[in-house]
Amino acid sequence: MQAVIQAGYGPPERVLRLAEIPVPPVGGDDVLIRVRATSVNTPDWATVVGAPYILRPAFGLRGPRRPVRGSDVAGVVEAVGSRVTDLAPGDEVFGSTGDRAGAFAQYAVAPAAQLLKKPAGLPFADAAASVMSGLAALVAMRDVAKVGAGQRVLVNGASGGVGIMAVQIAKALGAEVTGVCGTQNIEMVRSLGADHVIDYTREDFTRGRQRFDVILDNVLNHPPKATARVLAPGGNLMPNSIGNTGGLLAGLPRTARAALMGLGSTNVKLVTPAVNRENLAALLALLESGEVRVVIDRTYPLDRAASAVSHMLAHHARGKIAITVDGGSTS
């Protein structure tokens, strides 16, 4: 099969290339998927460039131990493991490959427990692009912050993959939502249902008078103490785990400082999205109800996966960046 493999760390165009590799083996609890679409997430570009450097021993010192990137996946079941009884060849599914072989390929293996049947009306690209960002936003708002009616929620980085989903999910849960984004994305964020939109090029939200019950900080462009200043008493600050590319530590220092603040009077909570059928079903329900929609900035074919990763590295994408395989943009 064809797959995009990574050799070493560095600029995507230098270290990613299309190659022929064997189809991954299928374990007893696994599903082999003919990939129709995947998407680019923060762990993908972070692993490609090898940032933060301090984590390279975990990735692999000279190059990643797993050469194929991509975890979000949507496609058609090709084969199932011996213990899989509720999925069959021909089923259209979406979910995550987890720690199995990556999805930047014609075929990928995923645990059956991390897949859900895809409705016929949901395009493959939308389904794949919803997974990591959607589950991160869902878990952050519903489970970690326990957002409810009347709460004031601020999403910093409201035009990115997680931010777009978080604005919509917080609104669906009844919150009063403020999104922070650049000038060119104001109308788009408003169209998602945000009650208020702050243009970060003109206004610093950390210096405002408004106080928020929940702050989801996807950008880490302010010191944590400054962001925490606009928390309401008892409010929750949820910083992104990796904020910036490059450098020895990337965005980890600010995340660490935020975590240390959590030892004091500030409620700091990190988000670890759980990929399981229950959460996928909750996300799908929001998508099917129309309360949440997927926003895709650009779609690339598999042989241009390096360009897709580069586009995300530029930090100007409005929403998700999808990669399609064999015409996977349609349902």
Give me the residue spans of the domains in the chain.
Answer: 2-130+274-324, 146-268
Closest by Cα among 141, 148, 153, 180 to 283: 141
Q: Which of 31-40, 157-166, 286-295, 311-320 has the lowest mean pLDDT?
A: 311-320
CATH 3.40.50.720 fits domain 146-268: yes
Choose the CATH number for 2-130+274-324 among 3.40.366.10, 3.40.50.1100, 3.40.50.360, 3.90.180.10: 3.90.180.10
In 121-200, DSSP assigns E strands to 152-156, 176-181, 196-199
- Place 183 in a pLDDT band, splitting at 50, 70 and 90: very high
Structure pTM? 0.92
CB half-sphere exposure, 213, CA atoms < 13 A: 15
* pLDDT at 234 > cutoff 60: yes
Same fold, 2-130+274-324 and 146-268: no
* pLDDT at 242 > cutoff 50: no
- Place 222 in a pLDDT band, splitting at 50, 70 and 90: confident
Closest by Cα among 27, 21, 25 to 1: 21
Is residue 327 within 8 A of residue 106, CB to CB? The reply is: no
pLDDT tens per residue across span 115-161: 999 999 999 999 999 999 999 999 999 999 999 999 999 999 999 99
Who wins on pLDDT, 49 or 192?
192
Helices (H), 91-150: 124-138
- State how far the Cα of 226 lies from the Cα of 237, in Å rounded to an integer: 11
pLDDT of residue 258: 57
pLDDT tens per residue across span 56-67: 777 788 889 999
* pLDDT at 252 > cutoff 80: no
> CB under 8 Å to 258, separation ≥6 — which residues?
224, 227, 228, 237, 239, 268
pLDDT tens per residue across span 94-108: 999 998 779 999 999
pLDDT of residue 259: 55
Is residue 158 within 8 A of residue 164, CB to CB? The reply is: yes
Q: Which of 19-33, 53-67, 215-229, 286-300 has the lowest mean pLDDT?
A: 53-67
DSSP annotation of 107 reads E
Burial class (CB in 10 A: 0-12, 13-18, 19+), 215: buried
pLDDT of residue 241: 58
